[in-house]
A and B are shown apart, each in its own frame.
Chain A
Amino acid sequence: MQTNFFRKIIFDEKSRSLLIQTLVIGLFALFIYLITQQTAYNLEKRGISSGFDFLHISAGYDISIRLIPFTSEDTHLRAYFVGLLNTLMIAVCGCFLATIIGFLVGIIRLSSNWLFRNIAYVYVEFTRNVPVLVQIILYYSILLNLPKIKQAIVIFDNFYLTNRGFFSPSPIFKDGFSIVAWSLVIAIIFAFFLKRFLKKIQEESGKQYPTFMINSAIIIFTPIIFYYIMGMPLEFDSPVLKGFNFKGGMVIRPEFLGMLFGLSIYTAAFISETVRSGIISVSKGQREASQALGLKSNFIMRLIIIPQALRVIIPPLTSQYLNLTKNSSLGIAIGYADLVHGFGGISLNQTGRAIEIMMMVMLTYLTISLTISFFMNLYNKSVQFKGNA
């Protein structure tokens, strides 16, 4: 009787899988229990307190690169947000630049010019086979070897390239500028609806309008007109050399530039490969068919090749964006004050709350990753084949 019972458990698929899963979850629970017990014991033994109360005590260190005001009296929580904003800033700028370089190089790699094609190939092979960290540090050291402030390289009179960063004039917005900014927003919204409207007309009547030209004109000229109507409410504050440093203007620090170049040059190599394979994947017949229909070559690229190539390009492009965002955590190596450097590094050392801080940092990155893949999936859905419609 008993042997029958065991036989049934082992040889019946349902009860066996139930047994295995119970065992696994039991072992897992035991594992978690042992680790938490051990950790609690270890923490107590070392006199490390736990909890999130440290977030509200003052951080006691300064962050040089910041988007929101921060002083050493501010709390660790604020340090967290400063770091988070810096991470997002480098990630967004990096993705933007990497996409531009990547698409350019990807298209050059398909050029009919042998020399051009191979220059792009050499670029891709050399940048994607060297660790991004080595590249970041290399570009950073090049930036640090630029001339000192006194011998700054001057570009267009008002821009200065030095070993302390890139100094440029900063805009000063006078009252009335907000109206110019709003006019731009309204122009973009208007252009969006105009495009839909014109497309609808085209679908119904077949009549074509130069939508792109009209909309570009609207978006460019509306703010310019408003700018003059409001009496040119924008001035520039140029950096001026005073003593040992520049006064006025704004500066992009070498840490930021080093990260930006490292991340985008490295990621662009991967993006260019996905772009290349995406364009190759569009079958030759598509191009020939559109030529036979008499489409002009830029229409073929814009209306036939690119929409189909995007279907192939978007998923790997998403993972490249994710990689770039995760690699932005390497700022710690050159002192770029991102999430890992400030909050995950200095705050951790000062408070000793390793578990809480690492958990917060990891969950933040997870959230960013999931958000990016969510939006890219939405975009991906919009470019996929849509049934028979």
Chain B
Amino acid sequence: MSSSAIQIISRSKYYNWLVKNLFSSWVNTILTVIALIFVYQVGSFFLYWAIFDADFRYNFQGELIIDRGFCSKNIMPGEYGACWAIIFARWNQFMYGLYPIEEAWRVNLIYALLPLAIIGILFDKIPFRRYFIYFTFIFPFLAYFMLYGGPGLSVVGTNKWGGLLVTLFLGVTGIGLAFPLSILLALGRRSKMPIIKSLCVVFIEFIRGVPLITLLFTANVMLPLFLPDGVNPDNLLRALVAVTLFQSAYMAEAIRGGLQAIPRGQVEAAQSLGLSYWQTTRKIVLPQALKIAIPPIVNTCIGLFKDTSLVLIIGLFDLLGIGRAALADMTWTKLYYEVYVFISLVFFIFCFGMSRYSLYLEKKLKTDNS
């Protein structure tokens, strides 16, 4: 076949696609034109605002932007670009909060090690997976030591933590602590013992029936009332307690869904082989149930990660809290869109990544249906 013939075929392929998907009928053609105009308007507006007309570190006169007065839109009337300089100026706070900047390498190290700690859980066909899993179990202690301090490292109180550090800390630790708790709750809810079952049901339904913000308030105001003198958890720890309990209830429901999908025959076969309840649960039921439940579990994790932004309301400085603090600074006021768009983007990257992972898993589970 000559090259021109190939060209014709491939062109007709595109042509067919266009006709089928965009111009199949008069109505469709009109819709396409409307959509094109819409995309062009919104897209060009956003691109000009966010990139072409925007200031990054220097304004159009080439000066380093150190406060709002230097933004191009303040100098030139009718100029509407974004002023991203606030993000650069506050970068350290967005990443570490008030963490002493000479100690920030500790946070960076943990950020760098975090992917290594979770990669072993996320993917089952990577080389040396076993060592990654070992590392996962060491990581919490390492992270605690590096972030909080201890022998050889200066202590940095959690009141100094902030920004992405708090967001990730609450998200990752909340999920990590909630996971074992949620398995117990899910098993308890399916238990044959009426008292244990009803305790679990009441706990799960109560937590799922109230907003997270009331739990955060309760933990913040009432935890000190419940505890004896001398035991006074700091704000971050109180938020962590609320977040963990909240997440465990939602995760327990996801896991219960997985448990319900296991055929009775599996349990009966295991029992007839003489396995005890815990042996059956650990070796037969849970491995299968968790595998089925992973996509809904990941969905609850996405929800939790987004919900960590609520701690702003009880006075913690997560990403959103740092953003609002930056806006309260007189030199940077009124750059709302820049700050909130940046925060949205950070959350989007994490949550979109997790939802892609969940989709990948669903596809994988569909193919190797063992």
- A interface residues, Cβ below 8 angstroms from B: 17, 20-21, 24-25, 28, 35, 38-39, 42-43, 111-116, 119, 125-126, 128-135, 137-138, 141-142, 145, 326-327, 329-330, 332-333, 340, 344, 348, 354-355, 358, 361-362, 365-366, 369-370
Contacts and interface: CB of A to CB of B under 8 A. Distances in A.
A340 B352 contact: no
A276 to B, nearest CB: 14
A145 to B, nearest CB: 7
Given A116-B31, A129-B347, A38 B226 contact: yes
**B contacts with A: majority SS:** helix
A348 to B, nearest CB: 7
B109 interface: no
A358 B214 contact: yes
A320 B237 CA distance: 29
Contacts of A348: 217, 221
B310 A330 contact: yes
Interface in B202-224: 206, 208-214, 217-218, 221-222, 224
A119 B213 contact: no
Given A125-B352, A129-B348, A369 B214 contact: no
Smallest CB-CB A-B distances: 6 pairs: A114-B21, A129-B351, A131-B306, A141-B336, A329-B211, A326-B211
Contacts of A327: 211
Contacts of A329: 211, 213-214
B32 A115 contact: yes
Interface string B340-364: 1101100110011001000000000
A135 B345 CA distance: 12
B28 A113 contact: yes
Contacts, number: 145
B263 to A, nearest CB: 22
B38 interface: yes
Most A CB within 10 A of own CB, among B21, B196, B347: B21
B5 interface: no
Given A115-B36, A125-B352, A129-B352, A355 B222 contact: yes
B188 to A, nearest CB: 9
Contact of B313 (A25, A39, A332): A332
A25 B222 contact: no
13 contacts: A21-B196, A25-B195, A39-B225, A113-B31, A115-B21, A126-B348, A131-B307, A131-B320, A133-B309, A330-B310, A333-B312, A340-B214, A340-B217
A323 B351 CA distance: 18
B316 to A, nearest CB: 13
A134 B214 contact: no
Interface size class of B (residues with CB under 8 A): 35 or more
Given A42-B225, A130-B351, A358 B218 contact: yes
B236 to A, nearest CB: 18
Contacts of A141: 336-337, 340
A344 B211 CA distance: 12
A24 B210 contact: no
A354 B347 contact: no
A335 to B, nearest CB: 12
Given A24-B195, A129-B355, A344 B214 contact: yes
Contacts of B227: 38
Nearest to B306: A131
A114 B22 CA distance: 6
Contacts of A362: 206, 210, 214, 218
A115 B35 contact: yes
Nearest to B353: A129
Nearest to B344: A130
A134 B343 contact: yes
B347 A115 contact: no
A130 B306 contact: yes
A327 B337 CA distance: 22
B228 interface: yes
A344 B222 contact: no
